[in-house]
Structure 1
């Protein structure tokens, strides 16, 4: 393996299309609560709107030689962004500042998991999120059934805050 990490500007977000779509299929395969909700989720309906609505975006892709094998997408957004037609992701009054940080999407192809790549991507994202003085609350949303991801984030210091959409999503939070 020849692993490299590359920060991707917004105008090259298309690099993540295939992996984002793979992530949605993977999440549906794990889900035991409302898996049909993933049928309408893909790069165009999840990542593009999120990129456009965020104040700042941070995308890192992982390459093995020239093959993209993983990515992480984090953003800084107004807290109101997380109350929409789909769901209210957290109690807006529980956040003192106007903006929140979110580790929004995270996916690594199966054959590259458990090799330390996820920890590198996580650390890069958290370091980026912590650069913003106007943010003190950080969120991660884990789809139901994705217990490996849930444990990974808990081991990294995030705690389960609550579930939304009848358990479809578990909200993790940190304000460190």
Structure 2
């Protein structure tokens, strides 16, 4: 294994198309609550709009030789972006600042899990988020059935706060103080 990490600009997000679509398919395959919601979720409906509407974006891809094997996408967005026609993701009044940090998408091909690659991607994301002094709240949204991801984020210091859409998504939250030392 010859693993490399690369921060890519928004203009190169197309590199993540296949992995994003694999992420949506994976989430659908393990979901036990309304998996059909994933039928309309893909690169065009999830990743592109998020990048276009966020104030700041950060994407890291990981490769084994020249093969793309995973990515993490995080953003800084106005807290109001998380109260939309799809769902209200958290109580806006509980966030003291105007913007929140979100680890929005994270995917690593199955054969590459358990080697610490996910932790490297996670740490890169948290280091980037912690640069924004005026953002104190970080969120991760985990789809139902993804117990592996839920446990990963809990081990990293995120706390499940509530479910939305009748259990379709679990909301996890942390504050920047946990990650200013990474």
TM-score over 0.5 (shorter chain): yes
Once the two structures are superposed, the pairs formed by residues 61-100 of structure 1 within 5 Å of their partners are: 61-100=61-100
Question: Aligned pair 1:164/2:164, yes or no?
Answer: yes
C-alpha RMSD of the superposition = 0.4
Q: Which residue of 2 aligns with 1:142?
A: 142
- Which runs of 5 or more structure 2 residues have no equivalent in the other structure? 178-182
Q: TM-score, normalised by structure 2?
A: 0.96
Give 1:127 shift.
Answer: 0.4
Taking the TM superposition and a 5 Å limit, the aligned residue runs for 1:38-77 are 38-77=38-77
**Secondary structure at the counterpart of residue 103 of structure 2:** strand
TM-score (ref. length: structure 1):
0.99
Secondary structure at 2:60 match in 1: strand
Aligned to 2:108: 108
Number of residue pairs matched? 176
Q: The residue matched to 1:71 in structure 2 has which SS?
A: strand
- The answer for unaligned runs of 5 or more in structure 1 is none
**Deviation of residue 119 (structure 1)?**
0.2
Q: Which runs of 4+ in 1 moved over 6 A?
A: none
Matches within 5 A, 1:23-42: 23-42=23-42
Partner of 1:153: 153
| Alpha-carbon distance, 1:65 to partner | 0.7
